[in-house]
Every structure is written in structure tokens, then in C-alpha cells.
Structure 1
Amino acid sequence: MTIILSSPVPGVMIRWETLLKGHCKIKKALSIEQLRSLCGNRQFDVILLHRMLIDISSFRTLRSAFPAARFFLLTDHPDEEEALAFLRLGIVGYANTYIAAPRLLQALRVITEGGVWLGQKIIQRLITGVSNTLKPEDKKDQVPLLPANLTKSQRNIAERVARGQSNLEIAADLNITERTVKAHLTSIYEKTKTGNRLNLALLINLGKNPSG
């Protein structure tokens, strides 16, 4: 796996390089010009892009020039609205600049396998947004595309996830612990082959499974 590290801040570059050393091949870009040059070679898997290096307009231009590139945006001050704005432009990941090493490596695995890495609150907003776009008559006639081997409890939880409920809300409604909800979801993701909350919601709401 080859990762491009792109930040104007030397300390950030050193930190990222230290976290990833021994796990992947690293290329570095300290400016947009250097990044464009490396992107032109197309010999990389993911770009770790520091928010301090780029604004919305510049990213739109960069994304247009390299539509197949996977951009993982990291910011010193995560913000849901900012994340959604960049997500609409094509980023595949959004996280804190100082993300812990295990989480960073996990995120890179998810992204290189074709997934998207986002914070829980952002995922909840996306799920709620998808659910809200459905017309009332569509929701009434909707038949969730869930495998028959889900238990009644698992099906109930899956459908609540698709409506945008958080684990805490589901636990309160069903009078179970949040840990139990998480355990059920692990099994649900495996049985539905969705892998995560967003894909599960898309499967139920739109009949689409991005991971399948």
C-alpha cells in the first residue's frame, strides 16, 4: 500500500510518517503543486490530505483533475458541516489530524477496500438524510432487503438504524443495554455483508449495498 502524505506543517508530516512507518510505502507533498505532481504518477492508494493545505475551491479543482484518487481529509478542528461539504465533492474519509495510530491504520484499510471512513455523528446525519428523502408512500410500501437468518430482535434493530436512530436511542427504546445493541449490530453486519452502519441503512432504504 502506498500513501501520499500532504501537509504544509512539518510536525504533522513527521507524526503521520511515524505512525505509518513499516505499514506502507510513503510519498510526501508539502504543497498543492507537489501533490498534483505525485497524483499525476497515479502510483498510490490513498492521499492523506491536511485541511490546512486546501480549501473547498482548490479541492474541487484537484478532485476534477484526479477523479479516481482516494482523498482522506484530516483536520485540526473536525466539523460536521465541513465534512458533508467535502464528502459531496468526493472525499472518502474525514478525521482528526491527530487520529490515533490504530484508528488511522483501520481507516486506511477500510478506504483501500473501497469503503468510506467518517465519524459516527456524520454517518447518523447521512442516514437520516437518506431516510428523509423517501416519500411517505415509499416508506409505507418499503420491504427491507434483509436476509431471512436475522432474528426478530436483529431485524428490529436494523430497521431502527435505517431510520437514523443511534445505538443509545435504540437501547432506550428496546430496554436493552448499548453493549447488547453493538453485539447485535456486529452480527447484523456479518449476515447482511454490509460491514458498517451506513451500508446497512443504504441496503434497507435504497436496496443498495456499496460493499457487496
Structure 2
Amino acid sequence: MRILLSSANRAVIKRWTGHLSATYRVESVSSVRELQARCARQEFELVLVHRALVDREGFSSLLDSCRGTRFFLLSDRPDEAEGLEFLKRGIVGYANAYIGRERMLEAIRTISNGSVWVGQKVIQLLIAEARKRAKERSPEDGERRQRLASLTPREQEIAKKVAEGLANLEIAADLNITERTVKAHLTSIYEKTGTASRLSLALLVNQG
């Protein structure tokens, strides 16, 4: 995987490079102009953007001009509302710019598998918003209910716990099963519901 790192802070670039260079092919840019030019050519599977490099309007413009590019936004001071806003705009990750090496590698593996990487509070905000919108029914509601109804009782139980924000280990402990069993159930749940991540499953459950 080719990853582009973007920050005007040399210490941040050095830190991220140290985290990733042994596992991925990484390159870096230090200006918004360079970032826009490289993203426009779609040379990278993932782009890490230091929030300090771009203002809110500039990043929104970048998202619009580089559709199809996967962006992982990292902030010196992560804000849940900002994370939620840009998640809805299409970013695939939001985290602290000073995230540790193992957590960053875990985040990128998660993103590579088609999921998103955000904090628990951002997920809870999304769920709360989904519940609020659930009162406004649409023609798609019947389809959502059918997909959830196709799950076995155990799968429905696990899906609800995912929607509550529980991690696999917590679900395993609650249901007195192994984490491996939880993962196996989730694979089946994703296939039956047409979802690809915990986030999309949580939204489906809370809207259904």
C-alpha cells in the first residue's frame, strides 16, 4: 500500500514515517498545494492529513476535488463534532496526530479492510443522530427491517450490542462466548445485512 503523509510539521512527518515506513511505502508533502496535486493524480491508496495543515474550508475543498481518495485526518486536538462532520463527508479515519505506532498500524489495517477508524464518542454521536432520524420513515425502512429480520436470534443480539458501541471482547464477555465466535457471527451479519463495518451496522440497527 502506498501512503501519502501531509504535514508542515517536520516532527509529525518524522513520527508518522517512523510508524509506517517498515510496513508501507510512504511519501510526504508539506504544503496544501503539493497535497492537492498529488491527490489529484490518485497515486496513493491512503492519505494522512495533519489537521494543522489545512483549515476546515480547505479540507472540505480537498475532499470535493479528490473524490475517490481515502483520507485519514489526524488532529492535535481531536474534536468529536469535527470528526462526525468530516466522517459524513467521506473520510475513513479520524484520530489524534500523536497516536502511537501500534494504534496507527491497527487503524490502517482497519481502513484497509473497508472499515472506518474513529473514536467511540464519534460513533456514539452517529448513533444518536441515527436514532433522531429514525422517526422520519422512508421507503427504505422496509428493506432495512427485512435485512435485520434475516439474522438469527444470536446474530441480532450481537448486532444490537455493536450498535450500543461495545467492542468484540465486551460482547464476548456479556454473552459468555469467545471473541473468535463473535468475529464469526459478525462476518455472517455483515454478509446478510449488506454492511461492511461496525459503523454501518450500528447505523442500520438504529435506523431499522
TM-score bucket of the superposed structures, by smaller chain: 0.7 to 0.9
Q: For residues 131 and 19 of structure 1, what CA distance do their matches in structure 2 show? A: 38
Q: Note the 1:166-205 alignment, pairs <5 A.
A: 166-167=165-166, 180=176, 183=179, 185-193=182-190, 194=195, 196-205=197-206
Q: Note the 1:51-130 alignment, pairs <5 A.
A: 51-130=51-130
Q: For residues 181 and 132 of structure 1, what CA distance do their matches in structure 2 show? A: 32
Unaligned regions of 5+ residues in structure 2, if any? none
Q: For residues 107 and 41 of structure 2, what CA distance do their matches in structure 1 show? A: 24
Give the TM-score taking structure 1 as reference length: 0.78
Kindly state the Cα deviation for residue 156 of structure 1 after the two structures are TM-superposed. Answer: 3.0
Task: Name which structure has the greater RCO, CA cutoff 8 Å, separation 6+.
Answer: 2
Q: Which runs of 4+ in 1 moved over 6 A?
A: none
Q: For residues 182 and 200 of structure 2, what CA distance do their matches in structure 1 show? A: 12
Report percent identity of matched pairs.
37
Q: SS of the residue aligned with 1:12?
A: helix
Q: For residues 19 and 179 of structure 1, what CA distance do their matches in structure 2 show? A: 36
Q: For residues 28 and 89 of structure 2, what CA distance do their matches in structure 1 show? A: 23
CA RMSD of aligned residues (A): 3.2
Q: For residues 111 and 156 of structure 1, what CA distance do their matches in structure 2 show? A: 25
Q: For residues 96 and 133 of structure 2, what CA distance do their matches in structure 1 show? A: 29
Residues 144, 205 of structure 1: 8 Å contact kept: no
Q: For residues 151 and 44 of structure 2, what CA distance do their matches in structure 1 show? A: 40
Q: SS of the residue aligned with 2:145?
A: coil
Residues 83, 94 of structure 2: 8 Å contact kept: yes
Q: For residues 160 and 26 of structure 2, what CA distance do their matches in structure 1 show? A: 42
Distance change in 2, residues 1:67/1:21 (3 Å): same
Q: For residues 3 and 160 of structure 1, what CA distance do their matches in structure 2 show? A: 34
Residues 84, 125 of structure 2: 8 Å contact kept: no
Please, which of 140, 143, 146 is the counterpart of residue 145 of structure 2?
143
Q: For residues 178 and 30 of structure 2, what CA distance do their matches in structure 1 show? A: 41
Residues 95, 119 of structure 2: 8 Å contact kept: yes
Q: SS of the residue aligned with 1:143?
A: helix
